[in-house]
Amino acid sequence: MDDRTPILVGAGQRIQRDVDPAVALDPLALMAEAASAAAEDAGGGARLLTAVDSVAVVNVFSWDYGNAPRLLAERVGAHARDQRYTTVGGNTPQSLVNQTAARIAGGEVGLALVAGGEAIATLRRARGRVAWAVAAGTPPVVVGEARPGTTEYEVAHNFQLPTQIYPLFENALRARSRLPIDEHRARLGRLMARFSAVAAENPYAWFREARSADEIVTATARNRMIGFPYTKYMNAIIEVDQAAAVLMTSVGRARALGIPASRWVHVLGTAEAHDHWFVSERVNYWSSPAIRAAAGRALALAGVSSDAIDWFDLYSCFPCAVEIGRDMLGIADDDPRPLTVTGGLPYFGGPGNAYSLHAIASMMDRLRASPGTRGLVTALGWYLTKHAVAVYAASPDERGWHADPGPSLQDGIDREPRPEIAAQAEGPATIETYTVLHDRDGAPVSGLVVGRLDDDRRFLANTPVDRDLLESLVVREGVGLRGTVSVRDGLNRFVPD
């Protein structure tokens, strides 16, 4: 192997449950503990952390540290001049690993620490009254796409939160597959029960209870409907205290540091891409050209097909993310291979932007325990918008490291068709996809519609606040339903025929 070949050599995870906020660890302290665990995992202990020359931290929701990478470096004793911090996005942990691998291969970085963590559960118990550290002085280098995830037009029509937007994809998937609502609900239950079962066996998971398919999909007082067809048990859970860290270096540096080859995990192929940026502009709501392209590129660089992957962790903030990722990879609905190594964001937990760092750490454990197997991780940000993918193995690729060649992948995606948008829509129309939002008591309160005018222009709209109408849209198929759209007080309003 070329000495410049990038590898992961250590992984650590931490979880903190039900601790008094007065003594609970903040996200930075949780990350420091995860970093120490990663150094121990690599077989080098604290001496490895002092050799770190690059620290990258995933954007933290819980607290603005000013310069989280610098504070983390100081906390673990690293003398790292290279300090990086990401923009918002669940894609960023995998993106950091991809970028760091390329920088190691290029000789820019010797030993890197990549970390992420949240203490949102503690912050909420403390009702925001915490006094965590803030670094003064020069801010870190910020990496990643900083564009907002929604337009003013989308926000005005209440297309803003993940719980409002992701159900739109799910209902489009159901209509595409022509499944009755009850059969589709049962399929969702079977899919997510597999994730819950993995979380139940994971000591770092927030929920260690294996939930049945019926329990997941049946709306109850404890498992209320949020955005049809998703109950609470199908939504990512952000109120967690979790952190993860990985150490990355080159083969030559690992040998010099005395890190045994049994700890090495190879990055065989990476790729990144984004779909048409805003939800209202998507090609459709049942596919992702960017996932298809990025996963295809990562697999091609690794020299394998998806059939040769033994372990997957498909980003799982909501079931549709798993389903679309699976479909874009060409994985059959009944494929027995595991689609998560953690348990997924609804059951393992969704620590802000940092979830996929846990997926990578868990993937390292699986691959080391089963030499000769391969794993693939997908990570996404915003609303199935920006994507990062990597293929991993404990065994090296005899062809050596292959970096993603860059912009040509995105150029092809950008050429995908975009619908013309009718900001002010009037006339006969058809529902392209929709959801019904519910209040905390489980009652339907509003309907969101993506529709098409008869001239094929797309529009966003709300339904009337009519309980009978809203209740009907959760028991009968709304996709394809005809109606009339008009403008009321500057907003589009769709009324079914």
Burial 81-98, CB ≥16 within 10 A → b, else e: ebbbbbbbbbbbbbbbbb
Per-residue pLDDT at 407 exceeds 90: no
- In sequence order, which residues have a C-beta less than 8 Å from that of residue 469 and are 6 or more positions away? 447, 463, 496
pLDDT tier at 408, thresholds 50, 70, 90: confident
Q: Render pLDDT for 7-51 as a digit per residue (tens, 0 to 9).
A: 999 999 999 998 999 999 999 999 999 999 999 999 998 999 999
What pLDDT, on a 0 to 100 scale, did the predictor assign at position 5?
96
Domains within the chain, CATH numbers bracketed = 6-145+238-414 (3.40.47.10), 427-496 (2.40.50.840)
Strands 458-462 and 6-15: unpaired
pLDDT tier at 399, thresholds 50, 70, 90: confident
Which amino acid is residue 447, in one-letter code?
G
- Mean predicted confidence (pLDDT) in 252-259: 97
Burial 459-470, CB ≥16 within 10 A → b, else e: bbbbbeeeeeeb
Phi first, then psi: what are they for 423, rounded to 5°? -65, -40
Say if residues 368 and 241 touch (Cβ distance below 8 Å): no
Q: Render pLDDT for 329-379 as a digit per residue (tens, 0 to 9).
A: 999 999 999 999 999 999 999 999 999 999 999 999 999 999 999 999 999
- Mean predicted confidence (pLDDT) in 411-436: 96
The mean pLDDT of the chain is 96
- The tokens describing 180, both together, are 């009755």
Say if residues 234 and 318 touch (Cβ distance below 8 Å): yes
